[in-house]
Structure 1
Amino acid sequence: MLQNIQYTKLRWLLTIGGLLLYIADIWTDLALSVKYYHLLKNGFRVVWTNSSKEEETKEVHHRLFCQATDLSMLKLFEAFLESAPQLLLQIYIALHHGDTSIIQYLSMVLSCFNIAWALVDYRRCLRRSLPHVTEMPSGLPTAIYLLYKLCTISSHVLSYSLLLMLSPYSVIALAILWLLATTWSHLLQTHFCSTRSHEMLYRAVVGFILTFTFFNVKGQGTRVAMIVYYFLYSLINMTTPLLLLLLMPEVQTATFFLGITGLIFGNSVLGLVFLVLYYLHLHPREKKREADEVDGLRKEAETGRIRHFLQP
C-alpha cells in the first residue's frame, strides 16, 4: 500500500536549489579548466625552451609556481565546498541505515584523504611561491602534516555525523559555527581579493573550511588562535558522543556507536599529537617571522597576484 506522499512546494524549491548548485559546480569546473590551460601553456614554454638569462628563468618559474598555487587554492575550495558535505552526508546515511558496502567505506576514506591532501598540497605550493619563505620539506614533515590534518578532519566529520544522528536540525548548529568562523575572518580584515564582494565570498568560504579544520587566515603568528580553535575542537569531539548517549540511550546497543566513538577519541588524540610534533620539530623555520598560509607576504600582496586571485 502506497503511503500518502505529496510533492510539496518546499520540495519543488529544494529541487531548484539543487539545480542551481549543479550549474554552479559545472561553472567552477570550467573555470578551473581555463586556469589549468594557462598553466600548461606557460609551463610548456618553460620546459621545452631554454632561456639564456638566469634571472629571467627564475622569474618565469616563480610565476608558474604562483599559478600552481592559485589552482591549488581552487582545488582546496572545491574539496571543502563539495567533498566535505558529501562525506558528511555519506557517513550520516551509513550510520542511519547500517547497510554500507565495502566500496562505500572505501569511498568515504578516499574522500577524507582527498580533503586532507588538498590542504597539504596548497600549503606546499604556497610556501614554494612566496619569496624568502622556506619551502615545506617533503618526506617525513609532509607525512606528519598530512596525518595531523587527516586525523583532525576525520574525527570532526564523525562528530558532526553523530550530531545529525541526534537530530537533523543539528545543521542549525553547524550553520552557527560557520557564521562564527566567517565573522572571525571578517574581524581579521583579510585582504585577499580585488573587490569587496569577492572578499566577502572568500571570508565565507574560509568560514566553511574553519568548521572542519584550522586555516591560517592572515598569514601571521597563530599560536593563540590555534590553541583556542583546538580547545573548542576537542570540546565538540569529546562531548558529542556523550550527548548522543544521554539523549538517545538506545544507541548503546547499536553496533556503530562504540566504533565511531573510538575513532573520534583516537583520531582526536592522534591529530593533536601529530600537530604538536609537526610544529615543534618539523615546521620550516625562518630567521624572521614570515607569513604562513593564506595572504602571504606584504610584498607579495603588493604585486597584485593574490588580490586578483578570484578574477577570471
Structure 2
Amino acid sequence: MLQTNIQYSKLRWLLTILGLFLYVLDIWNDIGLALKYYYEAQYVWSGMTVMFVFTGLLVSQIFSYVWYLDDMKEGEQTIAGMSKGGLAALHVICMGVFHRYYHLLKRGFKEVRKTTSSCTAEQMRDEHHKLFCMATDLSMLKLLEAFLESAPQLLLQLYIILGQQELSVMQCLSLAFSFFSVAWALVDYRHCLRRSLPHITEMPSGLPTTVYLLYKLCTITSHIFSYSLLLILSPYITVALTLLWLVGTTWAHLLQTNFCSSRGLELLYRAVVGVILVFTFFNVKGQDTKVAMIIYYVFYSIINFMTPPLLALLMPELRTSTFLLTAGGLIFGGSVLGLLCLVLYYLFLHPRGRWQEADEVDGLGVEAETTRTRKVINFLQP
C-alpha cells in the first residue's frame, strides 16, 4: 500500500491549482496598482511596485531554467518537453514557472485518476515521489519570489498607506494577496520539502504546522510594520535596510553556501538570501543555528519594541494618532505571539527524527545523492 507521507493526493492537486491562482492574482493586482500610481503621477511608487514584481519574476526564471538544465544532466531529458533553446526562450518571456505548473498539474492529474490495480505499489510510490520533487522545485521558486516581491510589496504599500492614512481597494487587495503569497510559500515549501526526501522524517501537519506558520507570519508582519514606521520617520532608513541586506549576504558568503553549480549563480543566491534575512530567519546552510537565531531575534526584538516609542518621541503630533496606536499594537502583539510560537515550536514540536540537531540536514546515504537531492538539502531550511 502507498505510504501516506509520499502520496500525491487529489487534495494536493487542487491545492496546486489554488497556488497557481494566487500567484497570478498577486502579479496582476500589483501591475494594476502600479498603473494606478502612474495615472496619479506617483511615478516613484509606480516604478518601485513594478520593480519588485519583475525582480521576483526575473530571479525565479533564472533559477527555474538552471534547475531544468540540472535535471536534464541527471537524465531527465523529457521533463520539460522542450530543447534547451526553447526552454531559454520560455524563461526569457517569464513563463518558466507557469510551464512548471502546467507539467505538474498535467502529470498529477493522470496519476490521481489511476486506479490501484493499474500499477504496483512500488510504481505508485516512485511516481508520487517524482511529483513531490516537481512540487518542491515549484515551492522553492515560490519562496524566493515571495521574499523578493510579496514581502517588499507589503512594506512599500504599508509605508504608502500609513503615510497617507488612506486605503484604496487596490491597495487593500495588494496587501491581502502579498500576505497570502508569503503564507502560502511558507506552508507549501514546508509541506513539500521532506515529502520529496523520504529518508528524512516528515514534518507533521496539525498543531506543528499551525504553530510554525504563526511564528513565521507574526514575526515577518510585525517586522514589516516596524520597517514601515521607521520609513515614515525618515526615508533614509532605506540605507539601513540596505546595510542589513549586505550583512545577511555577507553572512551567507562566510558560511560558504553550496546551493548552486556555478559561482555566479551562487553569488546571486547569497544575495537573495540576504534579502530574505531582512524579513525573517532561515537556516542558510543546514547547520545547527541556535546561537545565530538567538542573535537574530534579539536584534529583531530591539527594532520592533523600540520603533513605536521612537516614532512617538520624535513625531509628537502622532502620539494620539489612531494609526500609530493600531500599528504599535500590531507590532507588539505580533512580536510577542511570534516569539512565543518560535520557542514553543523549537522546544516541543520541531520534528527531529534522523536529524541530529534541530535544523541539521543530514541522514541521506551517499547512494541517495543526486543533483536534485543536493539542491533540496542545501536550500533554506525551516
**TM-score, structure 1 length as denominator?**
0.84
**Aligned match for 2:310, one of 243, 249, 259:** 243
Determine the structure 1 residue equivalent to 2:90. none
Report which stretch shifted further, 240-249 or 160-169.
240-249
Change (3 A) 1:297 1:89: farther
Deviation at 1:107, TM superposition (A): 4.8
Quote the residue 1:61 is aligned against: 128
Q: How does 1:125-140 map to 2 (within 5 A)?
A: 125-140=192-207
The AA in structure 1 aligned to 2:311 is L
Partner of 2:250: 183
Give the superposition deviation at 1:65.
1.1
Structure 2 residue 227 is matched with structure 1 residue 160: yes
Inter-CA distance 303–152: structure 2 relative to 1 (3 Å threshold): same
Deviations 1:87-142 (A, max 9, x none): 11111111111122577446524532431331122122102112321111111111
Q: Per-residue displacement from partner, 1:238-261 (whole Å, max 9, x unpaired)? A: 122232223222221322111111
Unaligned runs of 5+ in 1: 1-10
Structure 1 residues 38 and 173, CA gap change in structure 2 (3 angstroms): same
| 5+ residue gaps, structure 2 | 1-41, 62-93, 377-382
1:46 equivalenced with 2:111 (yes/no): yes
Between stretches 252-261 and 299-308, larger displacement belongs to 299-308
Distance 1:143-1:293 versus aligned 2 partners, 3 A rule = farther
Counterpart among 316, 321, 338 of residue 254 in structure 1: 321
Shift of 1:149: 1.0
Give, in angstroms, the shift of residue 280 of structure 1: 1.5
Distance 2:347 2:162 in 1: 37
TM (norm. structure 2) is: 0.69
Q: Cα 1:130–1:26, aligned 2, differ >3 Å: closer, same or farther?
A: closer
Report the equivalent of 1:89.
156
Q: Which has the higher contact order (CA 8 A, sep 6+)?
A: 1
- SS at 1:38 equivalent: helix
Partner residue of 2:282? 215
Do the aligned partners of 1:155 and 1:267 also contact (CA within 8 Å) in 2?
yes
Amino acid paired to 2:257 = T
How many residues are paired up?
Answer: 299
Q: Which residue among 224, 228, 231 is the counterpart of 2:298?
A: 231
Shift of 1:237: 0.7
With over 3 angstroms needed to count, the CA separation of the structure-2 counterparts of 1:127 and 1:17, relative to structure 1, is same
Q: 1:280 to 1:291 in 2, by over 3 A?
A: closer
Q: Contact 2:147–2:275 at 8 Å: present in 1 too? A: yes
Distance in 1, matches of 2:367 and 2:190, equals 16
Residues 261-300 of structure 1 aligned to structure 2 (within 5 Å): 261-289=328-356, 292=359, 299=366
The 1-side partners of 2:43 and 2:170 are apart by 32
Report the CA distance between 1:83 and its aligned residue: 1.0
Contact 1:191 1:307 in 2 (8 A): no
Structure 1: distance between partners of 2:220 and 2:50: 29
Q: Which residue of structure 2 lines up, in the alignment, with residue 36 of structure 1?
A: 101
For 2:127 and 2:100, locate their aligned partners in 1 and report how far apart those are by CA, in whole Å.
17
Residue type at the aligned position of 1:266: G
CA displacement 1:188-236 (0-9 Å, x = unmatched) = 1111112111111111111111111111111222211211111111111
Identity over the aligned pairs, expressed in percent? 63
